[in-house]
């Protein structure tokens, strides 16, 4: 995803962070920093503490963003931001649909900090 953005005029690290946050907000209703707080993480990597569904919906938002970016031939930050929101929205709608049908939230406060080391290796 970052390579696609780089090829389309996104150069600043700050811009990558903003675009990634837009995908997350649209997919989960939280920016990555809000999501880390939700899970009780400090400096840990958020992805390392996501469950399987959280990872799948994150990847769906990112893959959708890349697909939209390519198909619309997006250039520049402003248009990349629109594509990021649209891509995250694809994942957000799918997540909400699953939550409605399963009766359970995808976003979970669980993280691997709470699990003993031997249990982490089994998953």
Which pLDDT score, from 0 to 100, does residue 5 have? 93
The 3-state secondary structure of 14-59 reads HHHHHHHHHHHHHHHCCCHHHHHHHHCCCCCCCHHHCCHHHHHHHH
Q: Read off the pLDDT of residues 35-91 as tens digits, 9 standing for 90 and up.
A: 999 999 998 999 999 999 999 999 999 999 999 999 999 999 999 999 999 999 999
Percent with pLDDT over 90 in the chain? 82
Q: How far is CA 29 from the centre of its chain?
A: 10
Say whether 59 sits in a helix, a strand or coil: helix
Tell me if the pTM is above 0.85.
yes
CA-nearest of 44, 20, 35 to 109 is 35
Q: Read off the pLDDT of residues 75-117 as tens digits, 9 standing for 90 and up.
A: 999 999 999 999 999 999 999 999 999 999 999 988 776 654 4
Which pLDDT score, from 0 to 100, does residue 60 have? 98
Q: Is 103 left (phi over 0), alpha (psi -120 to 50) or beta?
A: left
Which pLDDT score, from 0 to 100, does residue 114 have? 62
Paired tokens of 86? 């649209």
Paired tokens of 114? 């709470």
């Amino acid at each position: 995803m970052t390579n696609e953005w780089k090829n389309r005029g996104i150069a600043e690290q700050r811009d990558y962070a903003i675009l990634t946050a837009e995908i997350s907000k649209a997919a989960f209703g939280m920016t990555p920093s809000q999501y880390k707080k939700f899970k009780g993480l400090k400096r840990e990597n958020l992805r390392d503490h996501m469950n399987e569904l959280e990872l799948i919906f994150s990847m769906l938002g990112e893959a959708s963003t890349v697909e939209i970016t390519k198909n619309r031939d997006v250039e520049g930050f402003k248009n990349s931001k629109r594509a990021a929101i649209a891509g995250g929205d694809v994942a957000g709608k799918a997540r909400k649909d699953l939550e409605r049908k399963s009766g359970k939230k995808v976003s979970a406060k669980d993280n691997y900090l709470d699990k003993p080391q031997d249990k982490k290796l089994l998953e």
